[in-house]
Amino acid sequence: MDTKVYVSTVREYGEHLRKLSTKLTATFRQLEQALDEQQSPVETNIVSLLEVTAELNNSLFAAMVFCQRLQVFLESTKRDNGSRLKN
């Protein structure tokens, strides 16, 4: 693979992670506000926000695993290319 493809892939995935993080942060803020304003035990809005938060958290976790695997792949490719250049 070309270095430009690596950089482009990492950049695109970084943008995806940024968007997930932004959504998660916004959801946490909404949840915090809903909990602060809570009058009755568990409102539908709070349950909905908790579900969205859990989904975003799962997506972010999957994205982090992907990034770790991508990093391992890029490092192994770099090592393989480096050993070919020495031979």
68 class by beta-carbon count within 10 Å (0-12 exposed, 13-18 middle, 19+ buried):
exposed
pLDDT digits (tens, 9 = 90+) for 40-84: 656 677 778 788 888 888 888 888 888 888 878 877 877 776 655
- For tokens 């970084």, the residue is 14
Q: Going by C-beta distance under 8 Å and a sequence separation of 6 or more, which residues neighbour residue 28?
A: 53
Checking if the pLDDT of 29 tops 80, the result is yes
The overall pTM is greater than 0.75: no
